[in-house]
Amino acid sequence: MSEPTVTRCARRLGCSGFKDFKLRLARDLAVGRMYLAADKVTPARSAREVSEQAYELVAQTLALAFSQRDPVALEAAVDAIEAARRLFCFGVGGSSANIAQEAENRFFRLDVSATASADPYRQRMAAAICDSRDVFLMFSMTGKPESLIDSAEIAKSAGARIISVTVPTSPLARRSDIVLPLTMPEDQRFFHMPSRGRYGQLYILDCLATALAARRSEKASAALWRIKRMLVNLHGDTPGQPIGD
């Protein structure tokens, strides 16, 4: 078929164009495979089965997270983090709390004054002492934890900017200045498998940190070199030694 025919077909299906059609198809395929495959798959028992199922789950999750990406929002989030006096990384619960801590680990190495917290009281306290020069990066798979919503409201009243990695229709998203959309259906039948949400959140965090590192390449390179020299002095020149990652 000709290109105009394909474009007209995509628009009749409710898409803005062929590119939008491909993104929606990838997203629907990823979601569909989660549930179609789940009906046929029995819980993994052997190491081989576990490794195969875990790999398939991660691949599906990355495809779904990629299909939801918002480059404009991602660019705006990097702008805000780059200009921030302080970056507060918040999350509650297992995955989101761990990713918030990982965000601190990623950004402090790029010379960002980052602090992570999973404590509901401390989150509200940090929001109470912020101002317009501060930025909050919040992770939540549901967008409903009260401590995050309260902290977002308190921080916004002081002029701080809120970036959330969450469901775009959630209460937290509605209180955010920048939303990095992430909706991950969880398969409760195979609760023993790794959480999809963790991989989706990590993908977005990697995008944020890598984009910021690209902007700060000269300054970041000098800081990372000093970190590397410190680690070499501590452990010796070990091949493949990570720089605090």
Asked if the structure places residue 235 within a domain, the reply is no
**Are 43 and 90 found together in one domain?**
no
**Are 158 and 59 found together in one domain?**
no
Residues 222 and 212: their CA atoms lie apart, in Å, by 15
**Are 78 and 29 found together in one domain?**
no
| Torsions phi, psi for 192 (to 5 deg) | -85, -10
150's enclosing H/E stretch is helix 146-157
Number of independent structural domains in the chain: 2
135's enclosing H/E stretch is strand 134-139
**Are 38 and 136 found together in one domain?**
no
Give the residue numbers spanning the domain of 196.
Answer: 71-218
**Are 61 and 80 found together in one domain?**
no
pLDDT in tens, 115-150: 999 999 999 999 999 999 999 999 999 999 999 999
Q: Look up residue 218 and give its amino acid.
A: E
Q: What angle do CA 92, 97, 103 make, to 5 degrees?
A: 135
Q: What angle do CA 208, 212, 171 make, to 5 degrees?
A: 35
SS3 content of the chain, % helix, strand, coil (to 5): 60, 10, 30
Global pTM value: 0.77
Domain boundary among 50, 67, 84: 67
Residues 209 and 232: their CA atoms lie apart, in Å, by 24
- Picking from 107-111, 154-158, 179-183, 222-226, which range would have the lowest pLDDT averaged per residue? 222-226
Asked if the structure places residue 56 within a domain, the reply is yes
Asked if the structure places residue 236 within a domain, the reply is no
| Torsions phi, psi for 111 (to 5 deg) | 65, 35
**Are 16 and 124 found together in one domain?**
no
pLDDT in tens, 96-117: 999 999 999 999 888 899 999 9
Asked if the structure places residue 118 within a domain, the reply is yes
